Chains A and B, each alone.
Chain A
Amino acid sequence: MNWNSSPPDDGVSRRSFLAAGVTGATLATSGCIDRVQSVVDQGGDEQFSLSITTVPADADRQNVRIARRLEASLEKVGIDVSLDMRSQSELLEAVLIEHDFDCYIGRHPADYDPDFLYEALHSTYANEAGWQNPFGFTNMAFDTHLEHQRRTDGDERKRHVEAVLTGLARAKPFDPICIPEEHRVAQANRFDGWDEGHLATRHGYLGLEPAAGVDRLHALVTDSRITRNLNPLSATFRNRGTTIDLLYDSLGTEHGGDVQPWLAESWDIAETTAESDSETADEETTRTATITLREGCHFHDGEPVTAADVAFTYKFLNDTSWGRAPVRSPAPRYRGRADVIEAVSVDGDYEVTITASGGREAVKRAFTVPVLPRHVWLELLDQYATGDDFTAPQGRWAVVSGNNIPPVGSGPFEFESRSEDESLVLKRFEDHFTLRDGVDLPEPTVDEVQFSVDPSSNSSITRIEDGGADVTATMLSPHSLPTIPDSSDLERLRSPSRTFYHLGFNVRNAPFSNPHVRRAVTQLIDKEGIVTDVFYGNATPVATPVSDEWVPERLQWSGDDPVTPFAGADGDLNVEAAKVAFERAGFRYDDNGRLLGGY
């Protein structure tokens, strides 16, 4: 095992160099040649052209199928489309880090709480790299509601979330398409208790009841990224961060929509209203959380977990350069969660007091970030953050993106070995607090968890059936569900999903800086048809990216998108109606029915 491989290249890539050469300084942000084309074209009488970035079918078949349907519709309305295929990490690199895309079709990890929208849409993050506002969306009204939903609780919060969702459905920085059902299969006689936790979270792997003689869980994944990079902060190598949740503990753990104390023994969240002018009083509401950590916990390298590590984590997520770079370099993951925390004070080895600018829910969500070992990351900083001219390009510098980070956490499983593109093996951390007497929390019940990379959903199912592995950790592709045999040896696992398929726009540049264009494009999407044809019914079409209880009445799905309905009927696009939408957005058509780029 070698964790000392070289850090990723921070320099200017070949492509960005070429792109800059072609288009001059206006496009100096590293762009790809074919996309530069699309931007240049917007000006005059050239055809309106754009590219849709997505992942190949090997990575996610639904994405590319949605993209091709969109491509066909865009071509019908006279737009020149190119389909840009990238691997999962390359797609995230282009969208989250480089902001080098027109629009993309992807699956958003979302979260258990609508507060993830703060991270996804707040203007503060429009220029940051990472999961924070990849769309480059800026809107004052949105910001206000996003901030209020953070600060408030209960019905008041719900009203602000509704306002955000309503605005989102109109302004469309991204358009949620559907929420998939998550299906998996497991061997029937090896483990019990699959229902206790979602397999995309740590709870899916804890508290399992192995049959007699079973001491190893063998799970199949079709995404090989965890075998190549285990950096908890990498935006491009993580999806929902399931493995990170096994390797690292967090103060609280989310289970069934609620956050319960985990590494924290207990917490007390009190409201404190700052002394200030009466008009702004409710704006200044902060919360103070007093947290007591479990005593005697250790990181996998034997160092104790203390309040200093917790304080370090929040401060570090806020500036991964640790004040050594000329500008702050916030983490490309967990940014929105940690941002709610204003100050952390260490009051002894196991006592932390956190001052936060959010309501109870936002504060508890901040407790779900992984607690990083201070001593390990400070050492990394000493290694990489050196020299007078040290800079830490936000979201992409070595410490937040490289595969050279020792995967040392304090979580229920510790890193054992990995083999690139083949497998990742974790072993039970015998010192984990859940294994103590008197701690009534789900614990690691197997000696070892092995994640093996399998080529596809279909082959994974066959492999489980043949007894070659215990469970499919990656959710199965809908097309392979009919191949699951009706066998008493297999257990079908079905769980709801929080992730959603969506079309994301880069609103920084033309043409998608124009909300009318975005709306016209989203009206080309037949969400109902996609669910039927692409997901074979194993998904729910949506107009909002949140789960049921948060969906406002007027945004409920009612056979069509309530705000931007499909411009057609029964799956057939009404081309003339769709074209009118583009003309209303200020575009015109030439005699050959081609949509022209300029006004």
Chain B
Amino acid sequence: MLAEVLIQLVVVVGILLPVSIALFVGRERLVRTRSEWRTRLKTAAPTIAVLLVVLLINRFARQRAPRLSREIGFHLTASFYNIEGEFILLFQSIATPETTAYFSSIYVYGYVFLIVFPVLAYFTLPDTRMFRRLLTAYALNYVIGLVLYIFVIAYGPRNVMPADVAATMLFENNPQYQYLTREVNSNTNVFPSLHTSLSATVATFAAITRSTFPKWFPVAVALAASVAISTMFLGIHWGIDVVAGMLLAALCVVLSDRLVGRWAVSELLGERLERFEDRIPWLERSE
């Protein structure tokens, strides 16, 4: 079941990516990237490494975190529900089979596409700063998100008001997606909405780079807004989680600006790497 869902996801995103690269990036940048990719990769290597480490930690921590969370976390379902009550049910007023299908596919496919595409797009820029900032912001989202998941134990609206969101609930209509989501998350990790924060991060970067990728900007904003709404429409997140996700996104974008290039890690390490490579002949051998 998991394999089926994964294959579908890979196929859909696999089709969307080349199409959008053709649409938003353009041939010229691709050609240049072809000749410069090694130097760019080298400059960005430390950032890439940091992100990979974070993702790896995240992967393991998501399995361990629930236990730690039970020990030290705060149960906040009741507080969230007390504060916002049935707010997210507002979105049920636009529920039709079409909107349900739209938001379900946005939540699964749209989201993955939205966070993967800019990684490729920004890599085609000669200056790797934006690429590094994006990856740094992703890493920060995951790290801060994980810490909050440990401290906040909360169930999403679908677990509190199952019947009210049943018509649109993702897993109700497409139970197979649960095989995917349970791989990446537990049902007490709702605060903040990482779907929202990563999407909002992408949208903010799209705004920053709108002169470079003018056509991507409106698409990114529309997709990001759809993802944020989908999390509530599908009954997965509270409004509070979405707001927290947006704040987290803003924080991560600002921090990425402060952090990237600050210690010139890349240059420092870059030089060392070069020296290192000189001594290893097989690294020279490429293409």
Contacts and interface: CB of A to CB of B under 8 A. Distances in A.
B178 interface: yes
A459 B1 contact: yes
Contact of B179 (A65, A84, A459): A459
A460 to B, nearest CB: 8
Most chain B CB atoms below 10 A, which of A9, A56, A479: A56
Given A34-B78, A82-B82, A90-B70, A56 B175 contact: no
A468 B171 contact: no
A498 interface: no
B163 to A, nearest CB: 6
Contacts of B77: 56, 83-85
Contacts of B172: 458
A459 B176 contact: yes
B267 to A, nearest CB: 45
Given A84-B77, A90-B70, A455-B178, A56 B163 contact: no
Given A56-B159, A64-B162, A51 B78 contact: yes
Interface in B158-204: 158-163, 166, 171-172, 175-176, 178-179, 182, 187-188
Interface string B74-104: 0101110110000000000000000000000
A468 B162 CA distance: 27
A30 to B, nearest CB: 13
A84 B75 contact: yes
Interface residues of A, number: 30
A65 B171 contact: no
A378 interface: no
Contacts of A87: 188
Contacts, number: 76
B153 to A, nearest CB: 9
B78 A455 contact: no
Contacts of B179: 455, 459
B255 interface: no
Given A455-B171, A455-B182, A57 B162 contact: yes
A576 interface: no
Contacts of A61: 162-163
A85 B1 CA distance: 29
B72 interface: yes
A86 B161 contact: no
Given A14-B72, A86-B75, A456-B171, A462 B160 contact: no
A59 B151 CA distance: 22
A216 B77 CA distance: 41
A254 B119 CA distance: 62
B155 interface: yes
A84 B153 CA distance: 11
Given A83-B77, A85-B78, A57 B178 contact: no
Contacts of A572: none
Contacts of B75: 32, 34, 84-86
A463 interface: yes
User: Interface size for chain B: under 10, 10 to 19, 20 to 34, or 35 or more residues?
Assistant: 20 to 34
A55 to B, nearest CB: 9
A68 interface: yes
Given A56-B160, A58-B187, A68-B160, A83 B176 contact: no
B250 to A, nearest CB: 29
Contacts of B82: 82
Interface string A74-88: 000000001111110
Interface in A451-477: 455-456, 458-459, 462-463, 466, 468
Interface string A368-388: 000000000000000000000
Nearest to B154: A85
A455 B159 contact: no
B178 to A, nearest CB: 4
A270 to B, nearest CB: 50
A83 B81 contact: yes
Contacts of A82: 78, 81-82
Nearest to B163: A65
A587 B179 CA distance: 50
Contacts of B171: 455-456, 458-459
B159 to A, nearest CB: 4
Contacts of A456: 171, 175, 178
Nearest to B70: A90
A398 B58 CA distance: 30
Given A83-B77, A462-B176, A68 B72 contact: no
Contacts of B70: 90
A85 B155 contact: yes
A18 to B, nearest CB: 11
Contacts of B159: 56-58, 64, 85
Given A83-B78, A85-B155, A468-B1, A459 B178 contact: yes
Nearest to B171: A456
A58 B188 CA distance: 11
A56 B178 contact: no
A229 to B, nearest CB: 12
Contact of B158 (A57, A86, A462): A57
A458 B175 contact: yes
A556 B64 CA distance: 49
Contacts of A458: 171-172, 175
A82 B155 CA distance: 14
A32 B76 CA distance: 12
Nearest to B178: A455
Interface in A71-109: 82-87, 90
Contact of B160 (A9, A57, A459, A466): A57
In the A-B complex, the 5 residue pairs with the smallest Cβ-Cβ separation, listed nearest first, are: A56-B159, A459-B175, A455-B178, A57-B162, A458-B175
Given A34-B79, A84-B77, 17 more contacts: A9-B71, A14-B71, A34-B78, A51-B78, A57-B158, A58-B159, A64-B159, A64-B162, A65-B162, A83-B77, A85-B78, A85-B159, A87-B188, A455-B171, A455-B175, A456-B175, A466-B1
Interface of B: 1, 70-72, 75, 77-79, 81-82, 155, 158-163, 166, 171-172, 175-176, 178-179, 182, 187-188
15 contacts: A14-B72, A56-B155, A56-B159, A57-B158, A58-B155, A58-B159, A64-B162, A65-B163, A82-B81, A83-B78, A83-B81, A85-B77, A455-B178, A459-B1, A463-B1
